[in-house]
Amino acid sequence: MIKAIMLDLDGTLLGNDHKISETNKEVLKKLEDKGIKIFLATGRSYESMRSYHEELNLTTPAICYNGAKIIYPHGSEKEYPVKERPLKTLIEIAREYKTHLNLYQHEIWYSENITNEETELYKEISGLEPVKKDFDRLDEMFSTKVLYVGEHENLLEIEKDIKEKLGDSVYTTFSRPFFLEILDGNVNKGTAMKNIMEEENIPLSQVIAFGDGLNDKEMLEIAGIGVAMSDAFDELKQVADHVAASSDESGVGEFLKKYL
């Protein structure tokens, strides 16, 4: 018996227009009325995902920044940032490769360049506005999430360099081919989901998780049922139990109608 549904946002619950389809909303509402709990798990900040949480009238904890931050409905939160030592190395690597870097402190997005294509791309997806900041002059040296934006082949080289220099002290993943995301080494969507389900007294075997990016991999692996979207990374499809239609085809809602 399924008691919870864990949903990634971009490329999963949201179509390419960054909206939740009527089909998805209707199906989720019916399942919620039956007592199934709905959760959102995203790489976005809470400020960037709040409108979707409210649109679905959810009162469940929200997983933000790929698990580096959990927001609870009563206002409390848990945060697991990248700390000073690895962060300084990550900044040095970005400069060495001349690659765009975003840092996030709580709900604020910092960048050293706020007028380039990479910034415009992230603004369009997130709906947020960046704050220009010299990373050598941060008031506090931490970042809830670190994001490199660029060509996939270049980001693969950067990821390799990061792993050689920082090892398991950080977690690296791709939410999209052009987004390389870095978190504290103990953090991912899977660990966040596991913690929340323990608090909710819901066995992982009774959870369905949906995703499309490599940042959804751990979540799909530990859920009772892992569902990848049809246009997901191939590596994610390999660990999924099922493949649903694309987000533009309301893949989440259509799958749940058939399965539940």
Block means of pLDDT (10 residues each) for the chain, 260 residues, are: 98 98 98 98 96 98 98 94 98 98 95 94 92 96 98 98 98 97 98 98 99 99 99 98 99 97
Domain 84-184, CATH among 3.30.1360.120, 3.40.1080.10, 3.40.50.970, 3.30.1240.10: 3.30.1240.10
Q: Report pLDDT for 114.
A: 93
Given this chain, do its domains 4-79+187-259 and 84-184 carry the same CATH topology? no
Q: What are the extents of the domains in the chain?
A: 4-79+187-259, 84-184
What pLDDT, on the 0 to 100 scale, is given for residue 75?
A: 86
| Alpha carbon distance 207, 217 (integer Å) | 15
**What's the one-letter identity of residue 52?**
Y
Contact between 66 and 188 under an 8 Å Cβ cutoff? The reply is: yes
The highest-level CATH class for domain 4-79+187-259 is alpha beta
**For residue 182, which of 195, 194, 167 has the smallest C-alpha distance?**
167
| pLDDT in the model for residue 106 | 86
Q: Report which of 26, 14, 5 is spatially closest to residue 210, judged by C-alpha positions.
A: 5
Nearest to 215 by CA among 236, 192, 198: 236
Global pTM reads 0.96
Instruction: List the one residue out of 3, 71, 78, 77 whose CA is nearest residue 38.
Output: 3
CA 200/CA 197 separation, integer angstroms:
5
In this prediction, residue 74 carries a pLDDT of 87
